[in-house]
Chain A
Amino acid sequence: MTERPDHTAELENLVGSAAGPPQLAPHAVNEAMIRHWVEAMGDTNAAYVSNEAAQALGLAGVIAPPTMLQAWIMRGLRATVEVEAARASGRPAGDTATDRMMTLLDDEGFTSVVATNCDQSYARPLVLGDRVVVSSVIEAVSSVKKTGLGTGRFITTRLDFAAVSAQTVGSDPDPTEIFGRGEPVATMRFRILKFAPAAVAQHKGAQTLVAESIPPALRPRPAITQDIAYFFEGARQHKLLIQRCAACGTLRHPPLPACGLCRSFAWDTIEASGRGEVFSFVVVHHPQVPGFEYPLPIGLIELEEGTRIVADLIGVEGSEVRVGMPVMVEFIEYDEELTLPAFRPRPEGAT
């Protein structure tokens, strides 16, 4: 049996941390969502749909079903699928304490999850026009337990719900600020078991299916001004272009509208040979952003023409890159819009 990594200390460090920044409900408490919910649940209590019925009970008007609490802050199908796909591909979905905790638990082999308990307590009913905001704290992480489902850890998260009048929420709301001034409405303790599944292969198959249903993320787009457009147009034609002062011949990269040596605004470009050396480099591990594969080696390449350029290093592990390593350009078409130069190690003296 292989050794299971033990992240007990790191997990215990996360206890007491905010699970993530406060989350604001996408919508105010509203009649339409209440109606969908009570119909789906088969709840026939008229106080949830009729002002008259609610007033007969001494309420001011319709209230939301208390156990609907969590529905108001759910992120929706698309975001949920994206998070699952990110996790399935081994990328952390983000860098909240919850994301870090889930990554640690996945690494321990506890890749499956089942909800075990949900306890809610209410300070007051939610009413139409309330905007809900929730702040979460990781309250407990258990030691490794053997359960009927498999070996794993129990995680308890406490969610503190508050509400403000939706009318006081602007167009670019700050959930932290809103939570700070919100009226406490409910608390929820949510307990899950993260465990090592019995049938691993079957489970991984299911995750892959989720990942494949989402188009791959694109790399960030460059912001292109008139000063720099030539470079990206050149790249689409698989040409590595360097800006040249038309007056004094000085090469410059990154490009500028005028020459710092002779003040000429006139310029053209030359096509670089594509040969260069690694002047410096990094290997990116974190944060991991959709559109890239990690660890990601990136070089500062000194071209044989003398200018330098930052570009991805390909065909080489981060641990193999060295300052001074000879490299050669290749062009990679990432999508219909974006083609970029990247550099691959070349044998010394090769052209």
Chain B
Amino acid sequence: MSGDAFAGKVAIAGIGATEFSKASGRSELHLATEAVDAALRDAGIEPAEVQGMVTYSADSNPDIDIARALGIGDLTFFSRVHYGGGAALGVMVQASLAVASGVADVVVVYRAFNERSGNRFGAGVQNRPVVATAENAQFAWYSPQGFLTPASWAAMFAQRYMHATGATSDALGWVAVADRKHAATNPNAWFYEKPITMDDYRDSRWIVEPLRLLDCCQETDGGQAIVVTSVERARDLPNPPAVVRAAAQGSWHGQDMMTSYYRDDMSHLPEMGLVARQLFATAGIGPADIQTAVLYDAFTPFVLFTIEEFGWCGWGEAKDFVANGNIEMGGSLPINTHGGQLGEGYLHGVNGIAEAVRQVRGTGVNQVAGVEHVVVTAGTGVPTSGMILGVDR
């Protein structure tokens, strides 16, 4: 199994972030540098000890610029992972492989952008230059038709899923309500002290039917960084290690970027199932051994798909699983205890890694009792990834 090379051998020793806002007033590179600086301070590791840096291919901030800005010295490992938010734990696979193999002793993962005040993902591909690369040509099937935005691409999945499973709009609403409930008690969340009710959800305007405004994550300015090192080293550092029990990537037959509409079935997320099976096999545990999960919530419907792919319930049953507070604090599987990307901020999933670390440390603002293992998942509808973090034993 792919994760055996590093599972249990590496840990997250530090996390750091900027504030999450709608207009940071500073450059993306400034945000990235601040986040890395904060994560290294949290870890108690000097910049000169960093040997590896990993980010998304979607990130605009060169690792070498951050390295120069912070006095990070020689780098022996630098890598980037593709497919937007699907990279969220792919970067952890890279960092973990590098640390476990001895290629780099300390690796920093980072992601930073002005995704609200700068280049807004929600605007979609309307201004994409018409250079005939394969990646641009993919949009030939969508953008001239007006099918331009991530919300619309996710909505196409949601409609078919709702048709196949009988899930109603309220099932999506439960996800939004849970995220916003958790954000309401998180001072770092954009929607701090702003919970919503199911009526608020039902009253929110259409973005792309069947998705409403409150089904869609925020657009956020900010940066988040993660420091990865060996478990042995982490044990000598100030914070308790958050041990990487498993991390994995997955791309399934017939995979497209956001538009895997051509498989026989559109009401599963098989690439996420592939990730889930690897994670549980590597960690040697099952769905019942997870106390809380950070599930990628750019759009609410995929949270339902993800719950089913991880086996917390059967296919088509997520609509009932998420209802009546079961995914809120006190439920059987509290998710997105920081408020998720609907409530805290959209950091392309990396703020979710930080929340998983806090849950393992026992320092979450909404701390789940008795946390042993936390699942974190990455972007949905794209080649994706996931991770299980655990307490050090």
Contacts and interface: CB of A to CB of B under 8 A. Distances in A.
B156 interface: yes
Given A220-B126, A312-B145, A285 B23 contact: no
B361 to A, nearest CB: 33
Contact of A310 (B24, B114, B137, B261): B261
A222 B156 contact: no
A17 B190 CA distance: 13
Contacts of B132: 223-225
Contacts of B210: 282
B160 A280 contact: yes
Contacts of A284: 146-149, 152, 208
B279 to A, nearest CB: 27
Nearest to B125: A220
A308 B140 CA distance: 15
Contacts of A268: none
A106 to B, nearest CB: 16
Interface stretch (B116-124, B175-183, B307-315, B336-344): B116-124
A310 B142 contact: yes
Contacts of A318: 209
A340 interface: yes
Contact of A300 (B122, B144, B156): B156
A176 B210 CA distance: 34
Contacts of A179: 25
B70 interface: no
A3 interface: no
A291 B118 CA distance: 24
Contacts of A283: 206, 208-209
Looking at B26, B140, B145, the one whose CB has the most chain A CB atoms below 10 A away is B145
Interface string A314-338: 0000100001000000000010001
A285 B118 contact: no
Nearest to A21: B117
Interface string B128-159: 10111110111111111111110010011101
A323 B166 CA distance: 13
A18 B148 contact: no
B368 interface: no
A230 to B, nearest CB: 12
B159 A281 contact: yes
Interface residues of B, number: 53
A312 B141 CA distance: 11
B22 interface: yes
A227 interface: yes
A125 interface: no
A289 B144 contact: no
Nearest to B129: A223
Interface string A171-194: 000101101100000000000000
Contact of A219 (B117, B128, B138, B144): B144
A254 B259 CA distance: 11
B266 interface: yes
A1 to B, nearest CB: 26
A32 to B, nearest CB: 31
Contact of B123 (A287, A307, A312): A287
B207 interface: yes
Nearest to A253: B262
B205 A285 contact: yes
B163 interface: yes
A296 interface: yes
B147 A298 contact: yes
Given A223-B130, A310-B145, A177 B209 contact: no
Contact of B130 (A221, A300, A308): A221
Given A176-B26, A180-B26, A287 B149 contact: yes
Nearest to B209: A283
A308 B261 contact: yes
B27 interface: yes
A307 B262 contact: yes
Contacts of A223: 128, 130-133, 136-137, 139-140
Contact of B118 (A95, A174, A312): A174
Nearest to B135: A223
Nearest to A307: B262
A54 interface: no
Given A21-B118, A311-B145, A282 B140 contact: no
Contact of B117 (A18, A289, A312, A323): A18
Looking at B123, B163, B259, B266, the one whose CB has the most chain A CB atoms below 10 A away is B163
A338 B148 CA distance: 17
A228 interface: yes
A204 B306 CA distance: 50
Interface string A210-242: 000000000111111101100010000000000
A78 interface: no
A254 B141 contact: yes
Given A176-B23, A223-B130, A227-B137, A285 B206 contact: yes
B208 A222 contact: no
A122 interface: no
A220 B130 CA distance: 9
A218 to B, nearest CB: 9
A334 B259 CA distance: 24
Q: Lowest 9 CB-CB distances: which A-B pairs, in order?
A: A222-B140, A223-B136, A280-B160, A283-B209, A177-B27, A282-B155, A220-B143, A285-B206, A292-B146
Interface of A: 17-18, 21-22, 95, 135, 174, 176-177, 179-180, 219-225, 227-228, 232, 253-254, 279-287, 289, 291-292, 295-296, 298, 300, 307-312, 318, 323, 334, 338, 340
26 contacts: A18-B22, A21-B23, A21-B117, A174-B27, A174-B114, A174-B118, A176-B24, A176-B118, A177-B26, A179-B25, A180-B26, A180-B27, A220-B130, A222-B130, A222-B144, A223-B137, A223-B140, A227-B134, A282-B155, A282-B208, A282-B209, A285-B205, A286-B208, A287-B149, A298-B152, A298-B156
Given A135-B25, A284-B147, 12 more contacts: A176-B26, A180-B26, A221-B130, A222-B139, A223-B140, A280-B261, A282-B155, A282-B208, A284-B146, A285-B207, A295-B209, A323-B160
